[in-house]
């Protein structure tokens, strides 16, 4: 109503509007409604700043709202439409992208500057297992183009959009023909990056693809992981037995590669200029301010916790939570800086 519109009324009307007798109608389910909200510029701006507006509290409020209408009839007949299966499925969906950000804090700029210093050209990057694009975004500031691939459509749906990033859904395994169609042509890529995901890959098959797409001889592959957050001595004393005893039966075998800081992961590449080995290099650290709830959210997002949960085992029992609370409050500070040490393997393809 307050927009400037310096024109005269048309015939049959005594003003230029706004006229409100028209409406768009579209059939939506709840997921479509949330997808619409996520298309708003304000939502995207918040997302770019790592703020998730549609968090679990907000989603829960929507479910409460749903219960206030037609579902009441079913409830009167002792039928719960929003049962645990429905709620669990939706929150599993939410966690598939929302907790990805908890699992993958923002990586330090120094990491990407170091990697970029080892590639002679800054034309094209293939970011593999991109998730929500948390490595693709800083790479796009350095390289002309980024091809960011993932096997999860839900992860890509919430990836950070930039004009020089092309997100591509790919199958778990690709032929050379599919690789050329989905990613890049032979010997055309300056850099391949894998952020906190290499330990999940079929390495012999993946490395064949890497060597096919990288420019010869100086194309670079950089893969990094990070270990669990280091808080302080008191929290660490509670976390260590929780991790090595309580969680141990539920960790996948690939977790050992992360525990070993990628030292034992197969990495058949040559050292880049200026170093005499392929790492792991450990001079980079993620830092994230956390309160205790954030810390528990991180733990709940981990694969070991999720596996236990799927088997009906709650690792964060009341007793464990109480121990963490006592340890967390020893210094009287509710917020703490969590340090995630990064371990980088980097090499060049050679001839």
Q: Write the DSSP assignment of 3-34 as a string of letters.
A: S----PPPTT-SS--------------HHHHH
pLDDT > 90 fraction of the chain, expressed in percent and rounded: 56
Mean pLDDT of 92-107: 50
260-306 pLDDT, tens digit per residue, is 999 999 999 999 999 999 999 999 998 889 899 989 988 998 888 99
Q: Are 147 and 125 in contact (CB under 8 A)?
A: yes
As a whole number of angstroms, the distance between CA 20 and CA 348 comes to 63
What is the value of pTM for the model shown?
0.70
pLDDT tens digits, 17-30: 888 878 787 777 66
pLDDT of residue 216: 94
Two structure tokens written together for 220: 């670079």
Q: Is the pLDDT of residue 98 over 70?
A: no
The whole-angstrom separation of Cα 50 and Cα 36 is 19
Lookup: tokens for 329: 């409050």
Span 125-173, pLDDT tens digits: 999 999 889 999 999 999 999 999 999 998 888 888 899 999 999 998 8
- The pLDDT score that the predictor gives to residue 30 is 67
Q: Residue-wise over 182-216: b if at least 16 C-beta within 10 A, else e?
A: ebbeeebbbbbbbbbbbbbbeeeebbebbbbbbbe
SS3 143: coil
Q: Which residue has the tokens 């310096």?
A: 6
Sheet holding 220-226, edge to edge: 165-169, 145-150, 124-128, 191-195, 220-226, 336-348, 281-290
Question: For residue 341, what pLDDT is reported?
Answer: 92
**Cα separation, 146 vs 139, whole angstroms:** 7
CB 164, CB 146: distance < 8 Å: yes
CB 89 within 8 A of CB 31: no
Q: pLDDT value at position 92?
A: 44
In this model, does residue 45 exceed pLDDT 80?
no
Q: Kindly state the percentage of the chain with pLDDT values over 70.
A: 82
> Residue 299: which H helix or E strand, with range?
helix 292-301
CB 198 within 8 A of CB 262: yes
**pLDDT for the residue numbered 102:** 43
Q: What is the C-alpha to C-alpha distance for residues 75 and 339, in angstroms, rounded to an integer?
A: 47
In order of start, what are the domains of the chain with their CATH numbers?
30-82 (no CATH), 109-302+332-348 (3.40.50.150)
Q: What is the pLDDT of residues 187-241, one digit of tens each?
A: 999 999 999 999 989 999 999 999 999 999 999 999 999 988 899 999 999 999 9
Q: What are the DSSP E strand ranges found in 97-249?
A: 124-128, 145-150, 165-169, 191-195, 220-226
């Amino acid at each position: 109503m307050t927009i400037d519109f310096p024109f005269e009324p048309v015939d049959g009307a005594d003003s230029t509007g706004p006229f409100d007798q028209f409406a768009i109608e579209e059939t939506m389910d709840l997921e479509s409604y949330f997808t619409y909200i996520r298309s708003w510029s304000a939502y995207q701006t918040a997302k770019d700043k790592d703020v998730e507006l549609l968090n679990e509290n907000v989603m829960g409020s929507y479910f409460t709202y749903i219960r206030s209408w037609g579902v009441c009839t079913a409830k009167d007949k002792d039928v719960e439409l929003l049962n645990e299966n429905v709620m669990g499925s939706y929150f599993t969906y939410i966690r598939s992208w929302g907790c990805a950000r908890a699992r993958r804090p923002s990586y330090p700029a120094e990491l990407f500057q170091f990697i970029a210093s080892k590639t002679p050209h800054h034309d094209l990057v293939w970011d593999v297992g991109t998730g929500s694009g948390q490595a693709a975004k800083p790479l796009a500031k350095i390289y002309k183009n980024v091809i960011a691939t993932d096997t999860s459509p839900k992860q890509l749906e919430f990836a950070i959009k930039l004009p020089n990033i092309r997100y591509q859904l790919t199958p778990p395994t690709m032929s050379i023909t599919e690789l050329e169609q989905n990613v890049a042509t032979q010997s055309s890529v300056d850099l391949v990056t894998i952020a906190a995901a290499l330990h999940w890959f079929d390495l012999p098959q993946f490395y064949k693809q890497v060597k096919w797409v990288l420019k010869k001889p100086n194309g670079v592959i950089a893969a990094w992981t990070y270990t669990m957050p280091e808080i302080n001595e008191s929290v660490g004393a509670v976390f260590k037995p929780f991790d090595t005893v309580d969680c141990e039966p539920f960790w996948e075998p690939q977790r050992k590669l992360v525990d070993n800081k990628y030292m034992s992961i197969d990495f058949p590449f040559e050292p880049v200029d200026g170093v005499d080995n392929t790492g792991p290099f450990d001079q980079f650290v993620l830092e994230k301010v956390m309160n205790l709830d954030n810390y528990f959210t991180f733990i709940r997002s981990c694969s070991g916790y999720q596996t236990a949960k799927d088997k009906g085992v709650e690792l964060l029992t009341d007793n464990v939570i109480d121990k963490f609370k006592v340890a967390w409050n020893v210094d009287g500070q509710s917020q703490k800086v969590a340090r995630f040490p990064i371990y980088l393997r980097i090499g060049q393809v050679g001839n």
